[in-house]
């Protein structure tokens, strides 16, 4: 059995590595996504990290539950089909597993994310 211990990482200010959007999902522009998972639970079903994306429009279907905290930028997210939400710095959101969305990144967006995956998320 794993011993209990705090897991943490220091504030991150380096360039994030590429975390590309699936090319067929891109609808407009050339959005460039970067990101990194920094922390995971011992069973790898819970992961947290940073993600950033430049302006553009793309589809996204959530293969996990995701909670986000927008740190900077602006993005319009449309549930398909349905309601459009605008997220800006300070906003929090939850995207449930299976939700189909369209993202329109208006101003480069940077978010903290926490994922709960149905299977271990191997990085």
Identify whether 11 is part of a domain.
no
> 32-89, pLDDT tens digit by residue?
999 999 999 999 999 999 999 999 999 999 999 999 999 999 999 999 988 999 999 9
Share of the chain above pLDDT 90, in %: 85
Q: Given pLDDT bands bounded at 50, 70 and 90, which one contains residue 5?
A: confident
CATH number at residue 73: 2.60.120.10
Identify whether 87 is part of a domain.
yes
Domain that holds residue 38: 24-116
The whole-number pLDDT of residue 106 equals: 98
The whole-number pLDDT of residue 25 equals: 97
pLDDT (mean) for 112-122: 95
**How many domains, the chain?**
1
Range name among 9-13, 20-24, 31-35, 89-93 with the lowest pLDDT average: 9-13
Q: Given pLDDT bands bounded at 50, 70 and 90, which one contains residue 2?
A: low
Identify whether 74 is part of a domain.
yes
Q: How far apart are CA 118 and CA 95, in angstroms?
A: 14
Token representation of residue 110: 């940077």
DSSP per position, 45-92 = SEEEEEEEE-SEEEEEE-SSEEEEEEEEEEEEEEESSS-EEEEETT-E
Identify whether 18 is part of a domain.
no
Identify whether 33 is part of a domain.
yes
């Amino acid at each position: 059995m794993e011993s209990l211990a705090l897991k943490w990482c220091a504030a991150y200010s380096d360039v994030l590595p590429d975390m590309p959007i699936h090319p067929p999902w891109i609808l407009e522009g050339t959005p460039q996504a970067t990101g990194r998972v920094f922390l995971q639970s011992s069973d790898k079903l819970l992961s947290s990290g940073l993600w950033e994306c430049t302006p553009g429009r793309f589809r996204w279907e959530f293969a996990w539950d995701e909670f986000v905290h927008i740190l900077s930028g602006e993005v319009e997210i449309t549930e398909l089909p349905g309601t459009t939400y605008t997220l800006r710095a300070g906003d929090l959101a939850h995207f449930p597993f299976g939700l189909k969305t369209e993202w329109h990144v208006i101003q480069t967006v940077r978010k903290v994310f926490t994922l709960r995956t149905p299977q271990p998320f191997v990085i």
